Amino acid sequence: MRVRHIFWFMVIMHAGCLIPLAWLGAGYFFGRLGADPISALEQFSGRIAISLLTATLLVHPLASLLKQPLIMKARRPLGLYTFAYVLLHVLILVGLDYRLDIPLLVTSYVDKPFIWFGAATSLILAALAITSFAWWRQRMGVWWGRLHRLIYLAALLDLAHFFLVVKGNLLSLSGNLARPSIYAALILLLLLLRLPVFRHHPCPDISTHTDDT
């Protein structure tokens, strides 16, 4: 892959991450988000966040499969976009849905396990976003790679969040499980690909572009 190709690859990646934001903003301001626009905003931002998280996990296997280490350059921005959409998702809930009424928010959700899974995912993603800078990477040494492997845990916690949101109760599984099931299949496949048994073809020179997570 040449520098020109990677430039266009990155342009498409940034556009792909920003277009949903523009669509969301336009939909809200022009009243095109249906009868419950705030709930639509919450759901849509959550779906974009989990999609970008999945895309972030996809980068390494894709770079290895295509033997194109430059693809690894997309991983950090994708991870940061994921976190940005998570922030937006939470801000919509706190700012638009609950109008900063934190006591009401706490009483509404404190006994709902899906919120705790979402919160745990957000904390992990926040830690990864903050430490994604070169300054942290140099200082943390081997711990940097270990910390950033938590992205897999974040993906699993987020799947639990998604399943519980659409159902409300994991014990009595039924209802609209199609969407989270698709993400679960994709994420589990990507996790499987990280197992040593499937890692026969490492990407050449990938060490210059990766954190080995």
Q: How far is the CB of 194 from ligand HEM (least distance, A)?
A: 19
**Is 35:169 a contact under the CB 8 Å cutoff?**
no
Q: Where are the alpha helices (DSSP H) in 67-133?
A: 75-91, 102-109, 113-130
Q: How far is the CB of 120 from ligand HEM (least distance, A)?
A: 8
Nearer to ligand HEM, 9 or 109 (CB): 109
- The torsion angle over the Cα atoms of residues 117, 123, 126 and 132, rounded to 10 degrees, is -100
Residue 29 CB: number of other CB atoms within 10 A? 10
Q: What is the token pair recorded at 157? A: 């916690």
Euclidean distance between CA atoms 200 and 87, whole angstroms: 37
The beta strand positions in the chain, using DSSP E, are none
Q: How far is the CB of 148 from ligand HEM (least distance, A)?
A: 16
Nearest to 169 by CA among 94, 111, 86: 111
- Positions touching ligand HEM (CB under 6 A) are 39, 42-43, 46-47, 49-50, 53, 86, 89-90, 93, 115, 118-119, 121-122, 158, 161-162, 165-166, 179
Q: How far is the CB of 192 from ligand HEM (least distance, A)?
A: 20
Nearer to ligand HEM, 48 or 206 (CB): 48
**Is 37:31 a contact under the CB 8 Å cutoff?**
yes
Nearer to ligand HEM, 10 or 177 (CB): 177
Nearer to ligand HEM, 77 or 202 (CB): 77
Q: How far is the CB of 2 from ligand HEM (least distance, A)?
A: 33
